[in-house]
Amino acid sequence: MLKVTIDGQTIEVPEGTTILQAARMLGPEVAPPAMCYYSKLETSGGYCRTCIVKVSKGSEKDPRPMPKPVASCRTMVMDGMEVQNKTSPELVEARKGVVEFLLANHPLDCPICDQAGECHLQDLSFEHGIESTRYEFERRTFKKIDLGPHIQLHMTRCILCYRCVKVADQLTPERYHGVLNRGDVSEISTYIEKSIDNEFSGNVIDVCPVGALTDKTFRFKSRVWFTKPVDAHRNCDTCSGKVTLWYKGDDVLRVTGRKDAFGEVADFICNTCRFETKKTSDWVIEGPRVIDKKSVISANHYLSDLKVPDFAYEVGEDYKKIDDTPKLLNPAAQ
Amino acid sequence: MGKKLLLANDHIPGIQGYEVYRKNGGYASVEKALKTMTPEAVVEEVKKSGLRGRGGAGFPTGMKWSFLAKPEGVQRYLVCNADESEPGTFKDRYLMSRIPHLLVEGMITGSFALGAKTSYIYVRGEYYYIIAILEKAIKEAYAAGWLGKNILGSGFDHDMYVQPGGGAYICGEETALLESLEGKRGNPRIKPPFPAIKGVWGCPTVVNNVETIAAVVPIVNDGGDAYAAIGIGRSTGTKLISASGHINKPGVYEIELGVPVEEFIYSDQYCGGIKNNKKLKAVVAGGSSVPILPANLILKTVNGEDRLMTYESLSDGGFASGSMLGSGGFIVMDETTSIVKNLWNFARFYHHESCGQCSPCREGTGWMEKILHKIVHGHGEMKDIELLWDLQRKIEGNTICPLGDAAAWPVASAIRHFRPEFEEYVLNGHSIKDVKHYYSVNRIQE
């Protein structure tokens, strides 16, 4: 086990853990933001540079600090390493710079973007960005491309995190899309707009941190914060069948994988589950999905600290009866 | 004139061909290494020579070679980085087109030292005619028995291939070069693992510049100590300098490291002074990506010492008042040069060549170019200079590969040393045609 200190908090982690993973073990408050790293996808990370941290002490053996900020998603923990994330003012400044670069060519069309409300770039710029942009030139734009019947690619919004390329590489039998051109005109695309057609292609929508890849069955149906997420499962031959259903009224507007606090899905799901089974009768409902209380999606839906019981486990001997006898608000008044 | 090691024979007619090259002592290093030395002894000689990478970073070659992982049963590779695309650098082109066999010879000797059975020469795509020259040289070497199976009866097999690049500056970065060599998109890899552990085809690989590999030939022939005797301190041996710009004699010069910069610019042996008797304004000492220095700082350091053509002396004073030897692309600018326009040109280059993988470089290089475009065309504002300064600071050090740094350093140094000129562009809203006016406005001593 290796000892690592991140922003003053120490944790022991097994060998081969990255700084980002160690920070995530300490909790979402400590973890640096990540736009391109995805723990379920191999070789992801290192591109967006939002997860940079300052290593103020290399290790117990070699205590020299690292000369430049490092990408925490790609840097392994060494024993005795000391890392500064939010406690280093120059790092906070550097990250502000990265956010500004990511936003420089982003269209900021949040009012008409389906991703708004669950967009990582929105969260990132809210938490780590500056108030206004200093970029005053025309932003680059691309034409929208239909990637098959279910997915639409709006390259203008893309931040080139390469996650969807990794999904296609690692989840699907053949990769039809990739990065064309270079520099600030490089784009995610398929060769001569060929459609992506395989059972797991829909996962590129889930991994996309912004609104560049959107679900055509959900486009412009509703703002995400008007929909209620509910965990559900079904027997599926191709995938685990564990999904989140997004309800508006009695209608399932869309189906996604179950995303955790870091926006990563637990299981990748197949296209049949995602696009074709949209009736409540198709699913076994497990209960409401807990969304991070900071998220706009959970606004007005649930009490922030209400623990949703997981019935599969808790209706056993561990089930504790809730003490519902009335109490005075101010015990001293008794 | 200093001692010449690489270009000693380049004036001989027909040296491109095998016969003439062999008659002039060619392939002696392969003979010596394969017949009388062990691979470890060759590495030891290179270490003793103090040879440093000639591609720009100046990392000690012997140390790089000794870092190469040597797991059992795994192929090792030597890759020659001939993707020379740094603006202002053209030494490798000269070397390869004039004495291609020197590179082939160095590759064989180097591969023997590293135990590499296969080596690649990755040539910049625009150098299409050099690819033909190199292929001819390799063919001749095969015919003469310097390549192939059981070379000189030593039991050492070696094959060499030439790989043309696709025409991207980024492929000169060693990991992007390896990606491109494997037939993929030329994006730099994220390090670690370093190529010495996992390089081309996932095997341990050494990537060296053309000039570095060529320098192995004199090191093996005359011994590492003889090589180390040339030069000053940790800057040993000779270096090819590509001199260009406003000088009387532009071209490729082989210098002994340690020649004073003043002598290099003004001596008739080298650049022969500034063209048309103009005054020196600024020098970019090591290819477009190193910091630009004004005349007073390139000739003397802040301590008043003469600046020498060595790794240490050129970087004396850090980036505040120093620069780097880099790849040896020595660009001289006279008093009529507009630094702002020159910087815009550099920024345009880096914008075009950014691979687009990591965000600071992808967005930042384009942004800087647009701001400079605005300033050069007379629409700049004072805040744009501050913004440029801030942007370069946020790009530098935050990217995957050194292209981000390479784009940031020229901007930083130009603003640091020539700020009044930027302000002049902003205030007067036109390009500086009358340089005398510029000097009088800013009260700079001519």
Residue type, B401: C
Helix and strand counts by DSSP (H, E) for chain B: 19, 12
Check CB contact under 8 Å for A184 and B356: yes
| Helix or strand holding residue A126 (H, E) | helix A120-128
| Contacts for B411 with CB less than 8 Å, ≥ 6 apart | B343, B347, B368, B388, B389, B391, B392
Query: Quick check: A48 and B365 CB within 8 A?
Result: no
- The owner of tokens 């003490």 is A323
Identify the residue among A88, A134, A158, A162 best suited for mutation to test binding to B, counting B beta carbons within 10 A and taking the highest: A134
Ramachandran assignment for B287, one of left (phi > 0), alpha (psi -120 to 50 degrees), beta (any other): left
- Residue A102, chain B, CB below 8 Å: the answer is yes
Q: What are the b/e assignments for B242-260, b being 16+ CB within 10 Å?
A: bbbbbbeebebbbbbbbbb
Measured between CB atoms, does B105 come within 8 Å of chain A? no
Name which residue leads in pLDDT, B81 or A287. B81
Token pair listed for A177? 């899309």
Which of A49, A137, A179 has the CB atom closest to B185's CB atom? A179
A58 interaction partners in chain B (CB closer than 8 Å): none
CATH top class, domain B239-334? alpha beta
Burial of A7 (0-12, 13-18, 19+ CB in 10 A): middle
pLDDT averaged over every residue in chain A: 84
Distance from CA of A310 to the nearest CA of B (A): 41
DSSP state, B188? P
Residue type, A212: A
Are A4 and A77 in contact, with CB atoms under 8 Å apart? yes
Nearest by Cα to A52 from A39, A34, A77 = A34
pLDDT of residue B105: 94
Domain map of chain A by residue range?
2-88, 139-215, 224-305
Interface test with A, best of B198, B352, B359 (most A CBs within 10 A): B359
- The count of C-alpha atoms lying within 13 angstroms of the C-alpha of B234, restricted to the half-sphere facing its C-beta, is 11
pLDDT-derived band at A84, boundaries 50, 70, 90? very high
Q: How much is the average pLDDT of B395-412?
A: 92
CA of B314 vs chain A CAs: smallest distance (Å): 21
pLDDT of the residue at A192: 61
**Average of per-residue pLDDT values in chain B:** 90
Interface A:B, Cβ pairs < 8 A: 93
Q: Which residues contact B116 (CB under 8 A, 6 or more apart)?
A: B75, B76, B77, B78, B110, B158, B206
Which region holds residue A8: left if phi is over 0, alpha if psi is between -120 and 50, else beta?
A: left
What confidence tens digit (pLDDT) does each residue in B207-229 have?
Answer: 999 999 999 999 999 989 999 99
Tell me the HSE value of B159 on the side-chain side, using a 13 A CA sphere. Answer: 5
DSSP collapsed to 3 states, A240-299: CCEEEEEEECCEEEEEECCECCCCCECCCCCHHHHHHCCCHHHCEEEEECCCCCCCHHHC
Residue pair B209/B203 in contact by the 8 Å Cβ criterion = no
Q: Give the lowest-confidence range in A29-33, A91-95, A197-201, B382-386.
A: A197-201
What is the value of ipTM here, to two decimals?
0.86
Nearest chain B Cα distance for residue A225, angstroms: 29
Q: Do A124 and A99 meet the contact criterion of CB atoms below 8 Å apart?
A: yes
Q: Are B111 and B78 in contact (CB under 8 A)?
A: yes
Same fold yes or no, A2-88 and A139-215: no
Average pLDDT over residues B274-289: 91
Which one of A18, A160, A184 would you mutate to disrupt binding with B, by most B Cβ within 10 Å of its Cβ? A184
Residues contacting residue B280 through CB under 8 Å, at least 6 positions apart: B265, B274, B295, B298, B299, B332, B333, B334, B335
Per-residue pLDDT tens for A243-284? 999 998 889 999 999 988 888 888 899 999 999 988 889 899
Cα–Cα distance between B407 and A296 in angstroms, integer? Answer: 39
* B213/A240 Cα distance (integer angstroms): 55
Hey, what are A277's tokens? 């089974």
Within an 8 Å CB–CB cutoff, is residue B145 touching chain A? Answer: no
Say how far apart CA B370 and CA B358 lie, in whole Å.
Answer: 19
Which residues, in sequence order, are bridge partners of residue A3? A12
Chain A CB within 8 Å of residue B263 CB: no
Whether chain B has a CB inside 8 Å of the CB on A19: the answer is no
Q: Residue B397: its chain A contacts at CB < 8 A?
A: 67-69
Q: What residues of B are in contact with residue A184 (Cβ under 8 Å)?
A: 351, 354, 356, 362-363, 365-366
- Give yes or no for a contact between B388 and B370, defined as CB atoms under 8 angstroms apart: no
Q: What proportion of chain A, given as a percentage, has pLDDT over 90? A: 36
Give which of B361, B395, B261, B287 is closest to B56, Cα–Cα.
B287
Give the model's pLDDT for residue A325. Answer: 55
CB B190 within 8 A of CB A74: yes
- Cross-chain CB nearest to B362 (options A50, A69, A183): A183
Q: Answer whether B365 sits within 8 Å of A159, measured CB to CB.
A: no
Using H for helix, E for strand and C for coil, what is the string for B222-280?
A: HCHHHHHHCEECCEECEEEEEEEECECCCEEEEEECCCEHHHHHHCCCCCCCEHHHCCE
Give the model's pLDDT for residue A330: 57
* A32 CA: distance to closest CA in chain B (Å): 15
Letter for the amino acid at B51? L
**Cβ–Cβ gap B360/A98 under 8 Å:** yes
Between A121 and A171, the higher pLDDT residue: A121
Q: Are B324 and B315 in contact (CB under 8 A)?
A: yes
CB contact under 8 A, A47 and B351: no
Q: Does the distance separating the beta carbons of B356 and A186 come in below 8 Å?
A: yes
Tokens of A41: 């996808």
What are the structure tokens assigned to B196, written together?
Answer: 């010495």
Tell me how far CA of residue B368 lies from CA of A70, A98, B407, in angstroms: 23, 15, 9
* CATH level 3 topology of B339-442: de novo design (two linked rop proteins) (1.20.1440)
Asked whether the beta carbons of residue B357 and residue A52 sit closer than 8 angstroms, the reply is no
Find the radius of gyration of the CA atoms of chain A: 22
pLDDT at residue B203, rounded to an integer: 93
Q: Which of B62, B120, B134, B61 is nearest to B92 (CA)?
A: B134
* String of DSSP letters for A178-246: EEES-GGG-EEEEGGGPPP-STTTTHHHHH-SSTTEEETTTTTT--GGGSEEEEEE---SSS--EEEEE
Q: Is the pLDDT of residue B410 over 90?
A: yes
pLDDT at residue A326 in the model: 55
- Give the max Cα distance, chain B: 73
pLDDT digit string (tens) for A34-78? 999 999 898 888 899 999 999 999 888 888 998 889 999 999 999
- DSSP code, position B187: P
Question: Strand A145-147's sheet: what is its strand order?
Answer: A145-147, A151-153, A213-215
Task: State which fold the A139-215 domain adopts.
Answer: Alpha-Beta Plaits (3.30.70)
CA quadruple A246, A162, A260, A206: dihedral, nearest 10? 10
Chain B: residue whose CA lies nearest to A94: B394
Quote the Cα angle for A53-A55-A57, to 5°: 165
Find the residue in A nearest to B390 (Cα). A97
Kindly identify which residue of chain A lies nearest to residue B397, measuring between CA atoms: A68
Measured CA to CA, the distance from residue A50 to residue A33 in angstroms comes to: 6
Confidence of residue A332 (pLDDT cuts 50, 70, 90): low
pLDDT at A329: 54
- Chain A within 8 Å of B405 (Cβ-Cβ)? no
**Cβ B69 vs Cβ B204: under 8 Å:** yes
Minimal Cβ distance to A98: which of B185, B370, B398: B398
Task: Determine the distance in angstroms separating the CA of A253 from the nearest CA of chain B, rounded to an integer.
Answer: 34
Instruction: Find the CB nearest A184 among B363, B390, B394.
Output: B363
Chain A residue numbers with beta carbons less than 8 Å from the beta carbon of B359 are: 47-50, 98, 101-102, 159-160
**Facing residue for A105 by CB, picked from B352, B357, B363:** B363
The b/e string for A302-313 (b: 16+ C-beta within 10 A; e otherwise) is eeeeeeeeeeee
Question: Which 3 state secondary structure label does DSSP give B221?
Answer: helix
| C-beta atoms of A100 and B400 within 8 A | no
B359 in contact with A, Cβ within 8 Å = yes
User: Rounded to an integer, what distance in angstroms lies between the CA atom of residue A191 and that of residue B251?
Assistant: 44
Contact A182 B168 (CB under 8 A): yes
B190 part of contact set with chain A, CB < 8 Å = yes
Q: State whether residue A182 sits within 8 Å of chain B by CB.
A: yes
Question: What number of other Cβ atoms are within 10 A of residue B62's Cβ?
Answer: 21
The hierarchical CATH code for the domain A2-88 is: 3.10.20.740
Q: CB count, 10 Å around CB of A79?
A: 14
Residues 134-173 (A) with a CB less than 8 A from some CB of B: 134-135, 137, 159-160, 162
Please answer whether residues A6 and A23 qualify as being in contact, where contact means their C-beta atoms are separated by less than 8 angstroms.
yes
Query: Does the pLDDT of residue B93 top 90, yes or no?
Result: yes
CA-to-CA separations, B13 to B20, B133, B216, B250, in angstroms, rounded: 8, 15, 24, 22
Architecture per CATH, B18-229? 3-Layer(aba) Sandwich (3.40)
Find the residue in B nearest to A92 (Cα): B394
pLDDT, position A193: 64
- Coil vs helix vs strand at A147: strand
List pLDDT tens digits, range A298-323.
776 554 444 545 554 444 555 455 55
Confidence (pLDDT) at B441: 47
pLDDT digits (tens, 9 = 90+) for B321-344: 889 999 999 999 998 888 999 999
Residue B445: predicted pLDDT: 42
The tokens describing B182, both together, are 């494997």
Q: How confident is the model at residue B251, as a pLDDT?
A: 92
Cis peptide before B193 (omega within 30 of 0): yes
B119 membership: H or E segment, kind and range: strand B118-123
CA dihedral A146, A150, A154, A155 (to 10 degrees): -80
**Cβ–Cβ contact B327 with A under 8 A:** no
Residue A121 tokens read as 């770039």
Distance set, CA B391 to CA A71, A251, B261, B270 (Å): 19, 48, 32, 38
Cα separations in angstroms, B144 against A297, B108, B161:
74, 13, 17
Rounded to whole angstroms, the Cα distance separating B384 from A272 reads 52
